[in-house]
Amino acid sequence: MTTKIAVFASGSGSNFQAIQEAIAHGEVNANIELVITDNPGAFVVTRANNFGIPVLELAPKTYENKAAYEAKIIEYLKEKDVEWVVLAGYMRLVGENLLAAYENRIINIHPSLLPSFPGKDAIGQAMAHGVKVTGVTVHYVDAGMDTGTIIAQGAVDVIEGDREGTEARVHTLEHALYTSTLKQLFEQ
């Protein structure tokens, strides 16, 4: 059975695109029913439009609180029969209602070897710390900041003094690791 997923993203959406391309090539047995962004106008919207995938652009500030914002999200996810939530550059903690609605069915990708460098700008944090090796982690999402059970990791050599080059390596690995992890998850 093809797994119905939603991808949440706040920015460029290169991971979303890698996942969609892997699906289109028959590598991942899933269908992206919906893209949700908390950042209306983000480049991920253009990417989703290019693939003809429905996008929901929500501005959290226009809701009374996180519960109301996520209630709207849950409504759309249920309407589309979404089974799994895939966070791909979604820069927001998931609240308790959404976690409860998708228990053990929300995953995230983070640009570091967790538990090192959780939170924002993980690549910048790693470079500022002077580590020689950083990487990428795919993990289940819990209520903490990048604290859920780790599913897969991969390492990247830092290019000293070259943020852009290091970031490019991280992104390349992210795209490969996320698609291979999703392939395995949805085969079971």
**Cβ nearer to ligand GAR, comparing 144 with 161:** 144
Among residues 110, 139, 171, 175, the one annotated as catalytic is 110
Of residues 13 and 148, the one with the C-beta less far from ligand GAR: 13
Annotated binding site for (6R)-10-formyltetrahydrofolate: 66, 91-94, 108
Q: How far is the CB of 166 from ligand GAR (least distance, A)?
A: 11
Q: How far apart are CA 163 and CA 96, in angstroms?
A: 35
Positions in the binding site for ligand GAR (CB under 6 A): 9, 11-15, 88-89, 109-111, 122, 146, 174
Instruction: Quote the least distance from Cβ 1 to ligand GAR, whole Å.
Output: 27
Extract the tokens encoding 188: 């079971």
| CB 78, min distance to ligand GAR, A | 25
> CB of 178: closest distance to ligand GAR in angstroms?
9
Annotated binding site: 13-15, 66, 91-94, 108
Q: Which is nearer to ligand GAR, 79 or 121 (CB)?
A: 121
Name the helix (H) or strand (E) containing 66.
Answer: helix 66-79
Query: What token pair was written down for 75?
Result: 């409504």
Name which of 111 and 148 has its Cβ closer to ligand GAR: 111
Within 10 A of 13 (CB to CB), how many other CB atoms are there?
24
25 included as an active-site residue? no
CA distance 63 to 69: 6
Residue 115: asked if its preceding bond is cis (omega within 30°), the reply is yes
* Phi-psi sector, 81: left (phi>0), alpha (psi -120 to 50), beta: left
Distance CA 57, CA 69 (A): 12
Give the residue numbers marked as catalytic. Answer: 110
